[in-house]
Amino acid sequence: MPELPEVETTVRGLNEKVLERTFVDVWTDWPKLVKKPKNFAEFKKEIKNKKIKKVRRRGKNIIFELSDNLSLLIHQKMTGHLICGVWEKRGARWEPKNGGDLRDKVNTYIHLVFFLDNGKMLALSDLRKFAKAELWGTEELRKSKELENLGPEPLEEGFTFEKFREALKDKKGKIKQVLMDQSVIAGVGNIYSDEALWRARINPFRLTNKLREDELKRIYNAVKKVLKEGIRLGGESFSDYRNIEGKKGNFDDERKVYRREGEKCPVCGGLIVRKKIGGRSAHFCPSCQK
């Protein structure tokens, strides 16, 4: 699933490509992607002729603030990603006119297309079709449980160590699970929790309420550092994620433990292991991470 660095990379790309553009039409072959309003014809009617005034991120959500006090929320879920280009419909498939990275197979599972007033198109490619699009009143969305239940943004200037410590206060779960809890901290998922805990030298199975202050500080610093690295390198494209031009991110060069089970730890040479934790996988070095 795209995490904070991938979503932030997408949002920055969108602000370069689609700001001040107007939606002139929308197409889908999978109406279930649109969750609000549930009737796709109504969604199409409401979004037409709305101008994109701002694109921002909240947690793993992409939010387009539109004219007429409307907002479009897109969550890319497991395998979805937004791409910008020009396609033409050939049978059941959308073929990119200019080819290039948009021809990457990962970019061809197009199930939602927004047509813009400059002739460009914004498409959602999603192999598993778990992504969602919702059209909200802007103020309604700001006050919604969808956003209110999210924890603080870990890269905001005001996210101090004290706020991090307060967010984790009284949390009794395993530290990896707590870091991935979107109500505790917004945007961190499987990839960056693994990478941050390796950098902090903390075992993902440690109980959060048993961690010492110096260990919490190491985790805090590692989370911020690894997320910034992820953004700088354009995200992780180990699986399905691509940026809005259809290109892979470069964080893979920095991936030390995630999906590297059986490989040698870059620090101690011990073997990286993978263990299940709450239905997800934790990748870590048993020797380095205590």
Q: Which amino acids are annotated catalytic? A: 2-3, 60, 280
How far apart CA 266 and CA 122 sit, in angstroms, is 40
User: In terms of Cα–Cα distance, which of 270, 252, 251 is closest to 261?
Assistant: 270
Amino acid at 23: F
Name the region of 120 (left: φ>0; alpha: ψ -120 to 50; beta: rest). Answer: beta
157 Cβ contact list (under 8 Å, min separation 6): none
SS3 30: coil
DSSP 192-232: HHHHHHHHHT--TTSBGGG--HHHHHHHHHHHHHHHHHHHH
Q: Where are the alpha helices (DSSP H) in the chain?
A: 4-17, 40-47, 138-142, 145-148, 161-168, 175-180, 190-200, 213-232
